[in-house]
Structure 1
Amino acid sequence: MTSVVTSETRFVRSGDVDIAYQVVGQGERDIVVGIGWVSHLELLWELPETVHFLRRLQSCGRLILHDARGTGLSDRPARPATIDDLAEDLVAVLDAVGSERAVILGWVDKAAGAIALAARHPERVEALVLGEALATTVARDDHPEGLDPAVIENLAAAVEQGSWGTGALLPAIAPSVAHDPRVAAWWRRWERMSATPNMAAGMLRTLLDLDVRALLPAVTAPTLVLHRSENMLVPSAAVRRLAHDLPDGRLVELPGADLAAFFGDTDALLDEVEEFLTGTRTGADAGRAVLTMLVTDVVGSTALAAELGDHRWNELLDFHHREVRAALARHGGSEIDTAGDGFLAVFALPSRALACAREARERLAAGGLTIRAGLHSAEVVHLGAGVRGLGVHVAARVAASAGPGEIRATGTVADLVAGARAEFEELGEATLSGVPGLCRLTRLVDARGDA
């Protein structure tokens, strides 16, 4: 997959309103992304979950992201946008980026804007991908399925009365991550920077007026309708009704309760999008790789810092960083994170990780520093310049279990480097904090030259 590089945010005039947009990557098709309710273009790139969502989409084409009027970096008029506004704003963005025809992806109210665009400008729409979408957002006499107006009003009132910016709405919108402090902190900032309480409440209340039923017969573009079946806000029956009433609609229901597309099992959702657009399901693996993680830290660093004082300790840390980085460069390691006196690095080959650990230990010992190191090989997910996965935690726990000067490795690493002029002592199986099951541990006892 081509690495994601975000473009600078730019603006286009739609009527008398400025719309913020970004263009990311390139590809054989254009994909316009409309985040439901509120959004903020630049904050989308500050959370690993949202970045992963966008990376997966980028594997299918050139991304065109925008903040709808009233939210994010776009103008904030006195009134919330209508579906006509949303459709014309999409035309303005398409014209600004030179896109004659695009896939339009929209969630909730942005799905209504995408339907309006497809009905009124069919020549501009290659396909639609709609999430948690309804033909009419509240029940009508001839359409008994819809949102509960009392629920929407309660949410709007909570926004107006002090809940906005506190994260109080996160459990309703993304219950799978509601108790993650990292996500909750990002979400609070997302709310504050995406809209004022007044505008956010007004945009919620406009949901009660959306009705695109009359437009559906004119939507000729093939349409994928996605719904998570345990979602407590959007009734399954209403989403099914929309998919049925679209001339070329296809419904896919998935397990999960998150309304926000970029939380929960996004890979399952994006597998469906990728297959719909390209006919294949390869993107979920594009950011994955089997790597060897090396984690190191200085033994007794707290006591040593207290003994030496700040000035001398900082000099010693500079020496530590310089020597570890020299070893990484020599053996082809990629530095992922540096936390004080520790390193996380990844290697394509376990033999190189092992050789690097040995060299770093010897270089630092010459300067009076003793380290411990842990190695583990596993499948991980690339997230920008970082990596994520259980394997990273295993390597950290293995390093924490090592004694002064020890290089410990999981049995996976020991087996992979068998015959690479390194000998390991079996330490048996152990329970590592936060890691399910038992882990086979080994200790490097002899290495006759670099692998």
Structure 2
Amino acid sequence: MIPEIRYAKAGDIQIAYQVFGSGALDLVVVPGWLSNLEIFWEDPAFARFLRGLGSFARVIIFDKRGTGLSDRVTDSPTLEERMEDVHAVMDAVGCKRAALFGYSEGGPMCALHAVTYPARTSALIMHGSYPRRTRTDDFPWGVTAEEVDRFVDSFERDWGGPIGIELRMPSVAHDPAVRQFWGRALRMSASAKTARILTKCNSEIDIRHLLPAIRVPALIMHATGDRTTPVACSRYLAQHIPGAKLVELPTDDHVPWIGCPDRVLDEMAQFLTGAHHAAEVDCVVATILMTDIVDSTRLAGELGDAKWAQLRAAHNEAVRRELAGARGKEIDNAGDGFCASFDGPARAIRCARAIRDAVERLGARLRIGLHTGECVLEPGRVSGIAL
């Protein structure tokens, strides 16, 4: 059940927020670039992550001004103005003091709040964030102005689709359901014009001068393979925030609910409560498909490295095309085989036949196995007897 949407007033702006969870401490979640509170809960991985936060905290989450269910804005809101959104929702729920968790662009806003209102900030947590967005001679890890312009220009051409998914969540970027969710989340969070305004605002962020003044406990987390924001940005944060703890996560995914969300939740729970987070496990009945190229070693030797690489690339494209058409979810692509899951055996069987035929047209033969049984669903992987 989706938590009730409520509204708080920040000046003349209505800010949409939700409150959920059963923990003893208050945790304010500040989303990144764009958000929509209702759409968040449509994605199983995101909903699972939010429930995880609620297992050890009373969670207060909101759509920043200009995004999601909050009032739209026509100008470019400053970081200070957006920080007042935090106060508005805290006051609305009677929260005097809270830990602040900001991921991506939400991080600098939380850091500014920690410096400006230390009495109302019990702890600071930043994930996949940065002290400055754009590159300078003394901060070579930011994006270039040209990269910002190219990203903004892509809104004119591609808005409505899953813009930036390959950089923000590469491990699931080929999953049709995730792509559909991300495209819908962006559409429902902002128009292309608003996204352009907010992206330009974020490109002006620079809080480096504030970092030494942060006096609350700070936890900094970052994916080592982050393709949107290099891990060096969080290393800089940890080096300049007194006493900050840095955790580098073994994933390429920028967003906290993909990659290793249980590790993120566990680090947060330990940091805030001193206790470990009990990971949520989902068990479902699913149909698992496994493929393997027949006599791949011999075939690779006959074709040579170049032609074998071309065949594998064409094979991967064909398999992913058929998986997308049958709503299959890619689990793994190790060596020359695929593992995928389906919520029904009929689609899995039809997909297996289509994959077999497509790969045979490329000049290769496949072994394909199907099995239906109980599986344990975890972000980024599936385990259980059915495999």
Is 2:21 aligned against 1:25? yes
Aligned-pair CA distance for 1:169: 2.0
SS at match of 2:233: helix
Q: 2:194 aligns with which of 195, 199, 205?
A: 199
In structure 1, C-alpha distance between the alignment counterparts of 2:135 and 2:285, rounded to whole Å: 54
Q: 2:167 aligns with which of 149, 168, 172?
A: 172
Q: Which residue of 2 aligns with 1:243?
A: 238
In structure 2, C-alpha distance between the alignment counterparts of 1:38 and 1:122, rounded to whole Å: 26
Aligned-pair CA distance for 1:280: 2.5
Is 2:80 aligned against 1:87? no
Q: Which residue of 2 aligns with 1:132?
A: 128
Is 2:100 aligned against 1:107? no
Q: What residue identity is the alignment partner of 1:194?
A: S
Q: Which residue of 1 aligns with 2:70?
A: 74
Aligned-pair CA distance for 1:108: 2.0
Report the count of equivalent residues.
307
Shifted more, 240-249 versus 88-97: the winner is 240-249
Q: 1:252 aligns with which of 228, 247, 251?
A: 247
Judged with a 3 Å threshold, the aligned counterparts in structure 2 of structure 1 residues 389 and 174 are, in CA distance, closer, same or farther, namely closer
Judged with a 3 Å threshold, the aligned counterparts in structure 2 of structure 1 residues 168 and 111 are, in CA distance, closer, same or farther, namely closer
- Give the CA RMSD over aligned residues: 2.7
Q: What residue identity is the alignment partner of 1:201?
A: R
In structure 2, C-alpha distance between the alignment counterparts of 1:293 and 1:228, rounded to whole Å: 31
In structure 2, C-alpha distance between the alignment counterparts of 1:67 and 1:293, rounded to whole Å: 35
Give the TM-score, by structure 1 length.
Answer: 0.63
Aligned-pair CA distance for 1:288: 2.9
Is 2:147 aligned against 1:151? yes
Contact 1:128 1:222 survives alignment (8 Å): yes
In structure 1, C-alpha distance between the alignment counterparts of 2:60 and 2:79, rounded to whole Å: 19
Contact 1:132 1:226 survives alignment (8 Å): yes
Is 2:176 aligned against 1:186? no
Judged with a 3 Å threshold, the aligned counterparts in structure 2 of structure 1 residues 235 and 375 are, in CA distance, closer, same or farther, namely closer
| 1:35-57 superposed Cα distances (whole Å, 9 cap, x missing partner) | 21000001111111001111111
Is 2:118 aligned against 1:122? yes
Q: What residue identity is the alignment partner of 1:51?
A: A
Q: What residue identity is the alignment partner of 1:81?
A: P
Contact 1:163 1:169 survives alignment (8 Å): no
Aligned-pair CA distance for 1:71: 0.6
Aligned-pair CA distance for 1:145: 3.4
Aligned-pair CA distance for 1:238: 2.2
Judged with a 3 Å threshold, the aligned counterparts in structure 2 of structure 1 residues 232 and 389 are, in CA distance, closer, same or farther, namely closer
Q: What residue identity is the alignment partner of 1:212?
A: I
Contact 1:36 1:107 survives alignment (8 Å): yes
In structure 1, C-alpha distance between the alignment counterparts of 2:55 and 2:160, rounded to whole Å: 33
| 1:8-35 superposed Cα distances (whole Å, 9 cap, x missing partner) | 1011110111100000123210111112
SS at match of 2:37: coil
Judged with a 3 Å threshold, the aligned counterparts in structure 2 of structure 1 residues 148 and 257 are, in CA distance, closer, same or farther, namely farther
Alignment of 1:359-378 (within 5 A): none
Larger radius of gyration, structure 1 or 2? Answer: 1
Q: 1:288 aligns with which of 266, 281, 291?
A: 281
SS at match of 1:258: coil
Aligned-pair CA distance for 1:340: 12
SS at match of 2:53: helix
Alignment of 1:398-437 (within 5 A): 435=387
Q: Which residue of 2 aligns with 1:273?
A: 268
Aligned-pair CA distance for 1:162: 2.2
| 1:197-220 superposed Cα distances (whole Å, 9 cap, x missing partner) | 011122112222101122223311
Q: Which residue of 2 aligns with 1:13?
A: 9
SS at match of 1:99: coil
Contact 1:45 1:51 survives alignment (8 Å): yes
In structure 2, C-alpha distance between the alignment counterparts of 1:146 and 1:243, rounded to whole Å: 16
In structure 2, C-alpha distance between the alignment counterparts of 1:288 and 1:258, rounded to whole Å: 21
Contact 1:107 1:130 survives alignment (8 Å): yes
Judged with a 3 Å threshold, the aligned counterparts in structure 2 of structure 1 residues 292 and 175 are, in CA distance, closer, same or farther, namely closer
In structure 1, C-alpha distance between the alignment counterparts of 2:246 and 2:345, rounded to whole Å: 50
Q: Which residue of 2 aligns with 1:48?
A: 44
Aligned-pair CA distance for 1:144: 3.7
In structure 2, C-alpha distance between the alignment counterparts of 1:119 and 1:131, rounded to whole Å: 18
Judged with a 3 Å threshold, the aligned counterparts in structure 2 of structure 1 residues 169 and 140 are, in CA distance, closer, same or farther, namely closer
Q: What residue identity is the alignment partner of 1:247?
A: P
In structure 2, C-alpha distance between the alignment counterparts of 1:292 and 1:164, rounded to whole Å: 34
SS at match of 1:283: coil
In structure 2, C-alpha distance between the alignment counterparts of 1:66 and 1:241, rounded to whole Å: 28
Judged with a 3 Å threshold, the aligned counterparts in structure 2 of structure 1 residues 169 and 292 are, in CA distance, closer, same or farther, namely closer
SS at match of 2:19: strand
The sequence identity of aligned pairs, in percent, is: 36
Q: What residue identity is the alignment partner of 2:86?
A: L
Q: Which residue of 1 aligns with 2:220?
A: 225
Q: 2:33 aligns with which of 29, 34, 37?
A: 37
In structure 1, C-alpha distance between the alignment counterparts of 2:162 and 2:126, rounded to whole Å: 26
Contact 1:174 1:258 survives alignment (8 Å): yes
SS at match of 2:257: coil
Contact 2:20 2:59 survives alignment (8 Å): yes
Aligned-pair CA distance for 1:292: 9.7
In structure 1, C-alpha distance between the alignment counterparts of 2:18 and 2:80, rounded to whole Å: 22
Judged with a 3 Å threshold, the aligned counterparts in structure 2 of structure 1 residues 288 and 174 are, in CA distance, closer, same or farther, namely closer
